[in-house]
Amino acid sequence: MPKLWQPLLDRALNLFLKPNCPMCDRTAQAVFCKYCHRQIQDCQLLQPDRYWQGDLPLFAWGKYEGPIKQSIGKLKYDGDRSIGYLYGEWLADSWQKHTPAGLPAKLIVVPIPLHGDKLASRGFNQAELIARGFCEVTGAKLDLSLQRTRSTIAQFGLSKSDRQENVAGAFTLVNSRLKPGNTVLLIDDIYTTGATVRSAAAVIRSIGVNVCGVAVIATGRNN
Ligand SMILES: [Zn+2]
């Protein structure tokens, strides 16, 4: 079975099994328990479009703090895929309520890829799960042609210029159906300095495709 069906299957099973909350082990409702659900919802930005400006506008569902940080960790390192899909739905919901002006009706969604090594060890790309949940709700088209050409070291702890150097040339398009004039929205889990998404956007823009911005679950930006 394709790995990406797993969240749907997990969900279907969850209807019967009533699993526990991945955050606290209490009985879960959908993915989280009522308590953690509320804690995470409290991190939601009232204006998710507040950073939608500049060369690569940013749309962020919430703030990268406490409960969100913990739940993204559960998604990435404990492999709780249902969190990714749920976050995609929440991001879509927020996007539909605060859709930035001036975008074409037909958007193509491109998740930021993981390098093959990381993908192999993790078994899934969390940004792709979020993008799938997002596309399911909004009807946007998913495109997986952006790929990592090489592994990059973790960005944490690097200076701004080192971060840019670390990701420069890290992406390529493989068998892409993207065409000049298309408009792409990038999707990732977290936005920190933006070096990674800027590098991805440059590759897509180099073939004449418009990259309108990036949508993420959480950002550490606070200005
Ligand atoms: Zn909980």
pLDDT tens digits, 136-194: 999 999 999 999 986 665 666 667 666 666 666 789 999 999 999 999 999 999 998 89
* Separation CA 179–CA 60 (nearest Å): 26
Return residues with CB closer than 5 A to ligand 1 (ion): 21, 23-24, 26, 33, 36
Which residue did the predictor score with more confidence, 111 or 166? 111
Distance from residue 26's CA to the centre of ligand 1 (Å): 5
Q: How far is the CA of 28 from the centre of ligand 1 (A)?
A: 7
User: Which structural domain range is residue 203 located in?
Assistant: 3-219
Query: Residue 184: what residue type?
Result: V
Query: How many independent structural domains does the chain possess?
Result: 1
C-alpha–C-alpha distance, residues 89 and 32, integer Å? 14
**If you average pLDDT over residues 104-111, what whole number do you get?**
96
Whole-number Å distance, alpha carbon 78 to ligand 1 midpoint, is 15
Say how many Å lie between the CA of residue 27 and the centre of ligand 1: 7
Greater model confidence, 13 or 121: 121
Give me the pLDDT at residue 162, please. Answer: 67
Residue 200 — pLDDT band, cuts 50, 70, 90?
Answer: very high
Question: Looking at residue 45, which CATH number applies to its domain?
Answer: 3.40.50
What separation in Å is there between the alpha carbon of 67 and the centre of ligand 1?
A: 10
Beta bridge partners of 142: 109
For the packed helices 34-41 and 66-77, what is the interaxial angle rounded to 10 degrees?
A: 120
**pTM for this structure?**
0.86
Distance from residue 31's CA to the centre of ligand 1 (Å): 9
- Check whether 98 has a pLDDT greater than 90: yes
Centre of ligand 1 from the C-alpha of residue 203, in Å = 40
Tell which wins on pLDDT, 127 or 8.
127
Task: Tell me, in angstroms, the distance from the centre of ligand 1 to residue 145's CA.
Answer: 36
* Whole-number Å distance between alpha carbons of 117 and 129: 18
Rounded to whole angstroms, how far apart are CA atoms 146 and 173?
A: 5
* pLDDT surpassing 70 at residue 18: no
Q: Give mean pLDDT, residues 86-92.
A: 97
- Of 3-7, 78-82, 117-121, 181-185, highest mean pLDDT: 181-185
Distance 53 CA to ligand 1 centre (A): 35
Q: What is the distance in A from the centroid of ligand 1 to the CA of 61? A: 20
Please give the Cα distance from 56 to 68 (Å, whole number): 23
d(CA 202, CA 21): 39
3-state secondary structure of 147: strand
d(CA 155, ligand 1 centre) in Å: 30
C-alpha 54 to ligand 1 mean position (Å) = 37
- 41 C-alpha to center of ligand 1: Å? 12
